[in-house]
Chain A
């Protein structure tokens, strides 16, 4: 397995801020893996996402130290535009992810390609392909500003994917959507991951994190509190002190343990919980 993201001892403080947002963060992400970042509000998750795509240090002003490398490219020495071919970012508010230059969804999707000077024929082909992937073929001629939040978020994900990045960074990208819209986006992300795209996801839904993550990293007050597989992280006795919610299945398992059932492992996923309950009922 090769590392596609390598963050080394990275610290960052926004200009004029009273505190340092990220402190000596180090981790790496392997190619094709599903990497989740969890933590309380204000723990630096979004800042970290911005650092992965080069918005820090190229867009946000502040002091930084340490390094972020994406596929052996030093982010600080690169440009956001160059990085956009390797790593794409989707964040929370759908309507802030529109370019506001497009009269139609098709133009919106093509915006990034136009900036990179891609020829019109290629553009049309890629727009058609991404639209099919995101299930937005029927929206191509619509004005993006007249769509629902869920639809716009799919357009935003599409405009990111059209750059064909190897890594997708998702910063709570379903937080403002209704459950249905949220699942639609999520299904697409899971499929992309199965097709080989590395996913770095920030999310508050711990059941979901436990279900898909290969690795989970817990951030607290800008520091890495824990890093490991969902099983390791969520069953850690200290987990609740890090300011995160733990999956209900873990709580269920603890309850069963307290009630005198001896369990081999605490469950973090639905299938594990089902197995555990079966075992307990026997």
Chain B
């Protein structure tokens, strides 16, 4: 069973629907990077897209997205980023499998995702910095911090690790937080087209019959369409974080509306 069904599970994740998300997730990753440099933050923020796509299309698509992000950075910005593809890939896998386990639905789960991602990235990125680049890549604040630590503790590996850990905890914290907010704001009709566990398709076939059942209901809905909007306010509370942000899109309210409707049923 194992190897073959695992492989089939992995290839099933690469549907056209997921494939078209990858360039966009790579774009989000790079926008995060641009953002942090525009804001003059000493961070990368280059895994927001990877985290989002992990929630939509699963671990292996996220891994590929991480790989492509680094390849893209290598192509257009600086080839130094290429070896770090390894840590992006591993982070994508770790986030993906943790999301698949349902951790992104709970706050403590999100915290776990943050810590795991920071840890994985710290270890792999540090190993790459030490073994590929001998300790510094000369392109960021971390290298300077590392150099300062080398002077202080006189050990290259420890210096790289500790400067990287500090940076990663902050960086991945912000990354996971932003990704969480984005995923919460994605319209449900879009989100529902992506299945994290492939079993849902099967379940769908069984209850074809209820297509009829709601026909009368739809008649009511069609006539009472206007009353539907006004009843949608209560959901606002759990959208506290979103409501601070741009109100013009109106998505959070819609989502909340749909959520309450579902729970009524």
Whole-angstrom CA separation of A112 from B41 in the bound complex? 44
Judge if A60 is at the interface, Cβ distance under 8 Å: yes
| Most chain A C-beta atoms within 10 Å of own C-beta, residue among B200, B204, B217 | B204
A221 pairs with B218, CB closer than 8 A: yes
A62 pairs with B204, CB closer than 8 A: yes
Q: A60-B193, A65-B208, A221-B222 are in contact. Are A18 and B258 (CB under 8 A)?
A: yes
Q: Is the interface of B mostly helix, strand, loop or mixed?
A: helix
Judge if B195 is at the interface, Cβ distance under 8 Å: yes
A59 pairs with B16, CB closer than 8 A: yes
B204 pairs with A11, CB closer than 8 A: no
Shortest distance from the beta carbon of B99 to any chain A beta carbon, whole Å: 18
Judge if A20 is at the interface, Cβ distance under 8 Å: yes
Closest residue on chain A to residue B261 by CB atoms: A18
Shortest distance from the beta carbon of A88 to any chain B beta carbon, whole Å: 17
A23 pairs with B204, CB closer than 8 A: no
Q: Which of A11-38 contact B (CB under 8 A)?
A: 11, 13-20, 23
Shortest distance from the beta carbon of B212 to any chain A beta carbon, whole Å: 8
Binary contact track B180-213/A, C-beta < 8 Å → 1, others 0: 0000000011001101000011001101100100
Shortest distance from the beta carbon of A43 to any chain B beta carbon, whole Å: 9
Shortest distance from the beta carbon of A99 to any chain B beta carbon, whole Å: 10
Measured between beta carbons, the chain A residues less than 8 angstroms from B211 are 11, 13, 20, 23, 63, 65
Measured between beta carbons, the chain A residues less than 8 angstroms from B265 are 18
Q: A61-B204, A62-B204 are in contact. Are A23 and B23 (CB under 8 A)?
A: no
Q: Which of B73-103 contact A (CB under 8 A)?
A: none
Interface size grouping (class) on chain A: 20 to 34
Measured between beta carbons, the chain A residues less than 8 angstroms from B246 are none
Whole-angstrom CA separation of A59 from B200 in the bound complex? 15
Measured between beta carbons, the chain B residues less than 8 angstroms from A65 are 208, 211
Shortest distance from the beta carbon of A61 to any chain B beta carbon, whole Å: 6
Judge if A267 is at the interface, Cβ distance under 8 Å: no
Judge if A100 is at the interface, Cβ distance under 8 Å: yes
A14 pairs with B262, CB closer than 8 A: no
Q: What are the 6 closest A-B residue pairs judged by CB atoms, nearest first?
A: A16-B192, A221-B222, A15-B192, A11-B211, A63-B208, A63-B204
Judge if A220 is at the interface, Cβ distance under 8 Å: yes
Closest residue on chain A to residue B223 by CB atoms: A221
Judge if B17 is at the interface, Cβ distance under 8 Å: yes
Judge if A150 is at the interface, Cβ distance under 8 Å: no
B214 pairs with A19, CB closer than 8 A: yes
Whole-angstrom CA separation of A23 from B32 in the bound complex? 44
Closest residue on chain B to residue A11 by CB atoms: B211
B192 pairs with A59, CB closer than 8 A: no
Judge if A222 is at the interface, Cβ distance under 8 Å: yes
Measured between beta carbons, the chain A residues less than 8 angstroms from B215 are 20, 23
Closest residue on chain A to residue B201 by CB atoms: A61
Measured between beta carbons, the chain A residues less than 8 angstroms from B229 are none
Whole-angstrom CA separation of A23 from B213 in the bound complex? 11
Measured between beta carbons, the chain B residues less than 8 angstroms from A222 are 218
Binary contact track A52-73/B, C-beta < 8 Å → 1, others 0: 0000000111110100000000
Measured between beta carbons, the chain A residues less than 8 angstroms from B221 are 19, 221
Measured between beta carbons, the chain A residues less than 8 angstroms from B207 are 63
Given A18-B262, A23-B215: 8 more A-B contacts, CB < 8 Å: A11-B211, A14-B192, A14-B193, A15-B192, A16-B188, A17-B192, A18-B261, A19-B214
B214 pairs with A20, CB closer than 8 A: yes
B189 pairs with A14, CB closer than 8 A: yes
Of the residues A62, A100, A220, contact of B23 by C-beta under 8 Å: A100
Whole-angstrom CA separation of A101 from B189 in the bound complex? 27
Whole-angstrom CA separation of A18 from B258 in the bound complex? 8
Whole-angstrom CA separation of A60 from B17 in the bound complex? 9
Closest residue on chain B to residue A24 by CB atoms: B215
Shortest distance from the beta carbon of A241 to any chain B beta carbon, whole Å: 11
Binary contact track A86-116/B, C-beta < 8 Å → 1, others 0: 0000000000000010000000000000000
Shortest distance from the beta carbon of A255 to any chain B beta carbon, whole Å: 29
Shortest distance from the beta carbon of A17 to any chain B beta carbon, whole Å: 7
Q: What would 27 A/B residue contacts be, using CB atoms closer than 8 Å?
A: A14-B189, A14-B192, A14-B193, A15-B192, A15-B195, A15-B200, A15-B204, A16-B192, A17-B189, A18-B258, A19-B217, A19-B218, A20-B214, A20-B215, A20-B218, A23-B211, A59-B16, A59-B17, A61-B193, A61-B195, A61-B200, A61-B204, A63-B208, A65-B208, A220-B222, A221-B219, A222-B218
